[in-house]
Amino acid sequence: MEEAGMDDIALVGGKNASLGEMLSALTKKGIRVPSGFIITTDAYREFIRGAGLEDLIRFNLAHLKRHDIHALEHASQVIREAIEGAPLPKELEHQVAEAYVSMEKQYGKHIDVAIRSSATAEDLPGASFAGQQDTYLGVRGRDHVFKAVRSCFGSLFTARAISYRHDKGFDHMDVALSVAIQRMVRSDLGASGVAFTLDTETGFRDVVLITGTWGLGELLVQGQVVPDEFLVAKKMLGHAPLPIIGKRRGKKDIKMVYAKRGHAGPLQVVKNKKEDRRRFVLNDKQIIELAKAAVLIEKHYTKIRGTPSPMDVEWALDGRTNELFILQARPETVQVSRDTEKIKEYIRREEGTPIVRGLSVGNKIVTGTVRIINDVRDMQALLPGEVLVTEMTDPDWEPIMKKAAAIVTEKGGRTSHAAIVSRELGLTAIVGAEKATQILHTGQLVTIDTTSSEGLVFDGVLGFSVRETELGALPKTKTKIAMNIATPDTAFEKSFLPNDGVGLAREEFIIAGSVGVHPLALIHYDELPENMQLQVRKKTRGWDDRLEYYVDNLAFGIAKIATAFYPKKVIVRFSDFKSNEYRSLLGGERFEPVEENPMLGWRGASRYYDPKFKQAFLLECRAMRKVRETMGLRNVIPMVPFCRTLEEGRNVLEVMAEGGLKRGKNGLKVIVMCEIPSNAILAEEFLKIFDGMSIGSNDLTQLTLGLDRDSGIVNRVADENDPAVKKLIADVIKVCLKSKKYVGICGQGPSDHPSFAKFLVEQGIESMSLNPDSIIKTKIAVAKVEKGMRK
């Protein structure tokens, strides 16, 4: 960002201004901020004393009961009216007028400004209630500035602010306000949003999460729009060409802009054009520019505070100049205080059909009775422990939100008021849950699950369990205990578990969940019937190139997992859909055969070099290459599944090289699954063309013993502990160790059968990759076996 001059920011009314210090620090870092001036906290205190308002404030707050909503609102009204009706001190009024005239000389008569507040308690660690005080946009003329400044001072005593300080134990008279008067950034013609220097739901700190919407940012904070979301790998900034690891297009139906002549008030809400709703608000260059600025701000505050300080940063894009501005920054206070030495996992034990979906806030499962409230005036109807369901919330809802077991709003994104308040109160919430107030009804029992990025509401009470683990007490093991990751949405949370990387990340889950279209339907789009083309266009909105949609979303899923565990090894298996599973994707029935036994049919390696599927596999190669080279995540290692013969292995490697993934180039290693008896029998030969083996014990068991693992009749005959299976596995481990190449196992056998885990450790296996819920118990068991072997 271009450097802003220090003369662009002036202090009015004293030297004690936390906001002023922040803005000055940002300009020194070369980060663009809007020019303007700041009324200090000293000036605020002098105004309150000079107007004789201290006694009035203390009297009205002295015996207030925070749960008495009517009394709270009455006290707020009395205090605010007194503050807004009091004159500013003459000296302060003169200084404000002078500063505003100076801005007029630079930018023109009646320059429009934004008037923002920063309370001394608002941005303290453990207390960062965004939106607690009021902001005034598009203010023009000195008299209107004076009025807005008094209103800003008065907003320190909104009902929500009074209630919040009472909960936090702050003395109301110890809290003060500084006010920034900044030139309006013409984001009404551009875009605005919020950037967090961590993942807001898990506290994972190696990403920057950016949200954005068209127009002024008020609708985003109010929760009236579902914004776009962008995710950037923090550690790769400055080291990789384009470390954007996620994009999610929001539903941006409306925006706030300057009002047309004749409209009451300076601002109005209008509908977005169809093309704007369908495109992202930021391009790749702007995403990276914002992410770098946010990280610089985080580093600055971390340095001056002497402790890690993830930040919540408001930004705006000027639609006239196409320049990005930082408007405000405050410490993130919820996840930063999380105890990472303790893991709390919520595990749903019963399945159900989701009736409402949205974006998750928090990481819990809760149950409760629905209470639909459509108007803030009816909020007292909410009973403690109920699930609050509404269109959206604003700061006026805060006094009763703490009573809810969970909150569901039809509008809003992860940076909306409902999301921010829910995090701070430790509540579970789902935002952007379309038609929730129509689908759910008051008195209905529901289960709220926010354990992945998609929040789910189930009808009825589903069973779940909670497991808490102290990580410091876990033993260390020589055998690496890695993790199987299915959906990328869980990767950040699961990365806090003790682990040695990822032994199996499955592309199928990413393709089914994030892409949803058969790759050949995208390649042969012009040959699809018109109704299917329409469905494909809906899926790929936001992308000009449909093939890039496939590559990008597959790459984003892989990259999210790789970032979560970086720099540890992440083994990603190429797609291993069976033909019947591929048929379930949009367009799949046009390109997939009907097979009698898909398990033994056209799957894995046999697809990759087949002329009927090769072009689809090359898209996977492009995605993998993008993750490793463009995003810089070279901890990703590709793995080839179900490779029946040596010739098949060579064919696949040849196609991979054609797709830019040449084994050995840029340190690229390629692993092969050992899940067919031929892999074990010819392990030595397979290791001449691959860099290691990952034993898939499920398929290896069924193919060695001729069992159908899905058959309830014969699947009880034997398991991984069968001597024939164990002999093959022992031989594979021996050959890999002799060849000094990787050998691991990625089936559930070690966690399901302790004796099998003991056998693997004794054979010297390098790594076991398990489902996350088995990691801790298996690590303890392996440590016990290793200790016994040392005796």
Which residues participate in catalysis according to the annotation?
Answer: 417, 746
| Max CA distance (Å), the chain | 93
Of 383, 378, 398, nearest to 76 (Cα)? Answer: 398
- Name the packing angle between helices 41-50 and 142-154 (round to 10°): 80
Angle between helices 614-625 and 646-658 in degrees, nearest 10: 60
446 close to 365: Cβ distance less than 8 angstroms: no
- DSSP letter assigned to residue 527: G
Reference 273, options 248, 258, 249, 252; nearest CA is: 252
Cα–Cα dist 340/330, whole Å = 22
Closest among 728, 766, 707 to 482, alpha carbons compared: 766
Tokens of 159: 């009902």
What's the rounded Cα separation, in Å, for the pair 87 and 100?
Answer: 18
DSSP 8-state class, residue 475: P
Residue burial 516-543, b: 16+ Cβ < 10 Å; e: rest = bbbbbbbbebeebeeebeebbeebbeeb
What's 689's DSSP letter? H
SS3 of residue 627 by DSSP: helix
Q: Which helix (H) or strand (E) holds 789?
A: helix 775-790
Query: HSE-up of 546 (CA within 13 Å, CB side)?
Result: 19
Q: How far is CA 96 from CA 144, 149, 547, 719, in A?
A: 12, 10, 56, 80
CA dist., res. 242 & res. 92, Å (int): 48
What whole-number distance in Å separates Cα of residue 386 and Cα of residue 370?
6
Of 60, 110, 332, 325, nearest to 208 by C-alpha is 332
How far does Cα 172 stand from its chain's mean position? 35
Closest CA to 217 of 252, 244, 183, 248: 252
Distance CA 725, CA 205 (A): 42
**Contact call for residues 639 and 573 (beta carbons, < 8 A):** yes
CB 329 within 8 A of CB 298: no
Q: Which two tokens stand for residue 248?
A: 């999610």
Distance, C-alpha 62 to centroid of its chain: 42
**Is-contact 454 489, C-beta < 8 A?**
yes
Q: What is the side-by-side strand order in the sheet with 136-139?
A: 9-12, 36-39, 177-183, 113-119, 136-139
Report which residue type is found at 758.
K
Residue 526, phi then psi, degrees to nearest 5: -65, -20
| 166: enclosing H helix or E strand | helix 159-168
DSSP string across 12-81: ES-S--HHHHHHHHHHHTT-----EEEE-HHHHHHHHHHTT-HHHHHHHHTT--TT-HHHHHHHHHHHHH
CB 360 within 8 A of CB 455: yes
